[in-house]
Every structure is written in C-alpha cells, then in structure tokens.
Amino acid sequence: MKFYRIFSLFIFITAAVTLEAESPASSSELLRHLDDDVLNELELNNIVFRYDDELFGNLYLPNTDRADSIREIYESSQPEVMVEAVYKIPYPEGYDLSNILEHLYELSHRVSTISGAKYFSERRNRYAVLFTDVYAVNITEKKKHLADPKPGDENYSDELYMHMKENALGRGYYKLDYNLEPEIFTLKISNMTDLKFIVTAVKSNDLDIVLQIIPCSDTLLIYGYCGVVMQNDDFVNLLLDPYYAFYRRLTAMETWLYNSLHSTDILPLLNEPMP
C-alpha cells in the first residue's frame, strides 16, 4: 500500500511539473525588461510603439528564443527608418488555443483580404484605404494572378508572393516568408520591387515588415518591426513623415490579422509613439 501511495504521489508531481512546463508564459514575463511607462501604455491601450530615430535598435522585443532572428534582420539591413511596436490581442471567445498559431498561419495566406485595409490620414483628417488590389502571384510565370492558397494547394507553403497597391508608394510585388513553430509564428513581408513616391523612395529588398505572434497565458502578443532603407530622403521627407508612414503600414498589417482572427472590421487605433 505504501508503494502505491508513493507511486501515485510521483505521478501527481510529474504531471504537475509537466503541466507547468507546457503552460505559456504571461505577457508580463516576456516583457519584464520594459520600462514601467511602456508597460502601462500597453496595458491601457493594448498597443505601444516607438520610432527608432536614435538608432537604439530593438528595445521592445519580447524575451523569447526567437528574439535574435529579429535582431539579425535589423543588423543586416541597418535601416534608416525603423518602427517597433507591441500589440495585445484578445483570444477569440471559445476558441481552441492549442492550434491558434496554425489557424493564423492559414488566415495569413488569404492575402486578398488585405485589400481595403485602412489608416488614419492626418492630411485628410479621416480614415482612408491604404492597400488595394492585393492578390497572390506565381512569381515564375509572369506574375500570374492566383487565388489565395489553401491547405493542400501546391502553393500553400512557407513562401508566398503577392501584388499590392499602396496609396502613396504605388504598385509593387512582395515576398511573404512564414515560420510556424510550436510556440511562435513569424510572418515577414519584404518588397521585391522598387517603391516610388514620384521618385524612388525604397529600392527592392529594402523594406521589411515582421510580425512575431506569441500565445501567452493572458493574451495573444504580437511584436511588430518595420525597417526601411530610404532613397531620395530629402525629397521624400518633404512629402511625408516616413516614421508615421511606415508605422501605419505595420499597424495596418497587425489590424488585418486581428480582423481575420476575430471576423471583425476594426480600425487602427490612434496613439502617440513613446519617447
């Protein structure tokens, strides 16, 4: 009898330790290195962001095993304009959280749903459409228009190419790289063609938008990064604020994922960057 009690206790402790090991960390644990002001802003508005105009690098990165992958992107590109943000997204009510990253992986292949994504235009003082005419393309066959890839399709993979028209930078082709891991899903979007605003503003492969999605015990945490090497800076800066312009692109992509997950049509929040 004593043996069975000890054996039962051992099973209980082992199960408890295993359960604890498999439980996701809280968002506060992954962001404990951030200042109180930053954490308070995130808690209040579910979003906090900064412009890296002093080249301090990735200060808001959650403390995960995949943080270095974002730092490598920053170091390799050495962007002149960089924005980073942290977003908190509530879980869908009643959703099975065990496969939420797989679900987001599938949703993010539906690139045509990016069409109609909006931003707040300071010049017009109203919301306006940012992205239109978004669709997947076959990059090897004269950029042939494709339907959104679905599970089981030949082009449903960790690499996707798309066409997108942006209200200021015009038409362009982009590459999407997907990295789905057990605890983190990373989506990286890079321009394959020059982006022009009367003149060339960004050359090909000089724009990176990265969204790293981490399920936490209390929320779905998204770290956002946008790094850009600019061209014709003096002229472009006369026409737009590059930091705000690329922040709104980053947040439009995060809002697209939010709306895809929750089947909603919310608009990006209006906030100010942290100093």
Domain range 25-262, its CATH number among 3.30.70.100, 2.60.40.1080, 3.30.1050.10, 3.30.530.20: 3.30.530.20
Distant-in-sequence, close-in-space partners of 189: CB < 8 Å, separation ≥ 6: 174, 175, 176, 208, 209, 210, 253
pLDDT level of residue 124 (50, 70, 90 thresholds) = confident
Which two structure tokens, joined as six digits, stand for 49? Answer: 């962001």
Mean pLDDT, the chain, rounded, equals 90
Q: Which long-range contacts (CB under 8 A, 24 or more apart) does 4-9 make?
A: none
260/242 Cα distance (integer angstroms): 27
Query: What integer is the mean pLDDT of 13-34?
Result: 71
Angle formed at CA 220 by CA 218 and CA 221, multiple of 5 degrees? 105
Cα 270 to Cα 263: distance, rounded to the nearest angstrom: 21
Q: How confident is the model over 66-86, as a mean pLDDT?
A: 96
Query: Model confidence over 190-226: pLDDT tens digits?
Result: 999 999 988 999 999 999 999 999 999 999 999 999 9
User: What pLDDT band is residue 3 in, cutting at 50, 70 and 90?
Assistant: very low
Please tell me the distance from the alpha carbon of residue 51 to that of residue 218, in angstroms, as a whole number. Answer: 27
Element (H, E) at 225: strand 220-228
